[in-house]
Amino acid sequence: MNARRMTPADRLLVNVDQALRTLFGRPAVTGRPHPAAELAAGELDATERTLAMRLMRVNHTGEVCAQGLYQGQALTARLGTTRAKMEQAAAEENDHLDWCEQRVKELGGHTSVLNPFFYAGSFALGAVAGAVGDRWSLGFVAETERQVVHHLDEHLQHLPAQDAPSRAIVEQMKLDEAHHATAAADAGGRPLPLPVRLAMRMTAKLMTRSVYWV
């Protein structure tokens, strides 16, 4: 028997469930091996531990934003193939979300109290991008992921060299984000205008600077 076709109301309920899992529960992961499962961190002093925790907290909130973005786009995407791509990317980003949260807690920290705010904003942006058109939506994904790769490169420069678990997680995230950017562009994503790209960078800076501290 074929599965019942999902209505807009069904998809909305799925998105509510996804939001609750992202913000307050444990997201459904893909089951991929944890990149740091066999690694142990070297000795970290208090300053290094705090730095690593704050950087991984920023990465966690970045994944919260990615969930909001992808779920918003999937909700309003016009083509079923585009919606499927967004949902698959969101599933892979759930791995990152889980890995980052675990590492933040291992380092003695907590995830950001600002996560609900950033999820809501990202969901709204994603829904608007999806409504504008699938090619623009895919272009938004491609540009977002390119900026994330750059941001992860910066974190690799600042993470303590002896924090092997955090570095392994970030390296795997970087590979996945680069793949998502390429896939979105290859699927027909349109390059975004310069003012939009600059606005995205400014928003990302606001997120990273605030979440670093709270």
Confidence of residue 2 (pLDDT cuts 50, 70, 90): very low
Residue 5 φ/ψ, nearest 5 degrees: -65, 130
Q: Which amino acid is at 174?
A: K
Q: Read off the pLDDT of each residue in 133-157 and give the average, rounded to a whole number.
A: 92
Task: Cite the annotated binding site for Fe cation by residue number.
Answer: 63, 93, 96, 145, 177, 180
Q: Read off the pLDDT of each residue in 3-13 and give the average, rounded to a whole number.
A: 67
Whole-angstrom distance, CA of residue 151 vs CA of residue 60: 13
Tokens of 212: 């670093």
pTM of the model: 0.88
Confidence of residue 105 (pLDDT cuts 50, 70, 90): very high
* 114-132 pLDDT per residue, tens: 999 999 999 998 888 888 8
* 149-207 pLDDT per residue, tens: 999 999 999 999 999 999 999 999 999 999 989 988 988 899 999 998 999 899 999 99
Positive or negative torsion for Cα 58, 59, 63, 65: positive
For residue 1, what pLDDT is reported? 41
Task: Cite the annotated binding site by residue number.
Answer: 63, 93, 96, 145, 177, 180
Residue 66 φ/ψ, nearest 5 degrees: -60, -40
Q: Kindly list the domain boundaries of the chain, sorted by start residue.
A: 43-213
The more confidently predicted of residues 88 and 65 is 65
* 18-67 pLDDT per residue, tens: 777 788 877 778 888 999 998 988 899 999 999 999 999 999 999 999 88
Burial-class residue 205 by CB neighbours within 10 Å (0-12, 13-18, 19+).
exposed
The more confidently predicted of residues 171 and 88 is 171
- Helix axis angle for 46-76 and 115-132, nearest 10°, is 30
Is the pLDDT assigned to residue 7 strictly greater than 80?
no
For residue 209, what pLDDT is reported? 94
The more confidently predicted of residues 209 and 24 is 209
Is the pLDDT assigned to residue 5 strictly greater than 70?
no
For residue 207, what pLDDT is reported? 94
Class of domain 43-213: mainly alpha
Nearest CA among 94, 113, 80, 87 for reference residue 31 = 94
